[in-house]
Amino acid sequence: MTTSDKLYEQLQQRLEQEHGMLSRELKHEMLLNTLVPSATAIEDAELSELIVMAKSAFIPNLFDLAVRMERIDAAVCSVKLGMYGLCVDCEDEIAIEDLEKDPAQPRCSSCREHSRYHHDN
């Protein structure tokens, strides 16, 4: 296993850990803010449904949590598809330094600069 393979594996583990933590936190915050009728309703809901509900609740910290969850979930999906570390716009590799700062970074630095007015970084 090369050094870059090890780094990608560590980044993927960080993503999985953050995904689990954010999922639990999102569900907890939704219960606290009574956005769903019960814990059972939360457990039965799809993650995408919870994210939409949280983003549309107009509660700032819940909105931010949902946005981060959405990014982490997309990164975890890219791992499963074998596309992790590739820019969602141009498909070039994202610099390892950028992924170390944020393992859920979806864009290379060039595309981030180009699209900074159209997309979240």
pLDDT band at 63 (very low <50, low <70, confident <90, very high): very high
The continuous run of DSSP H or E covering 87 comes out as none
Contact yes or no for 23/69 (Cβ under 8 A): yes
Confidence (pTM): 0.84
pLDDT per residue as tens digits for the range 8-26: 899 999 999 999 999 999 9
Contact yes or no for 80/100 (Cβ under 8 A): no
The continuous run of DSSP H or E covering 35 comes out as none
Residue 118 scores a pLDDT above 80: no
pLDDT per residue as tens digits for the range 88-103: 999 999 999 999 999 9
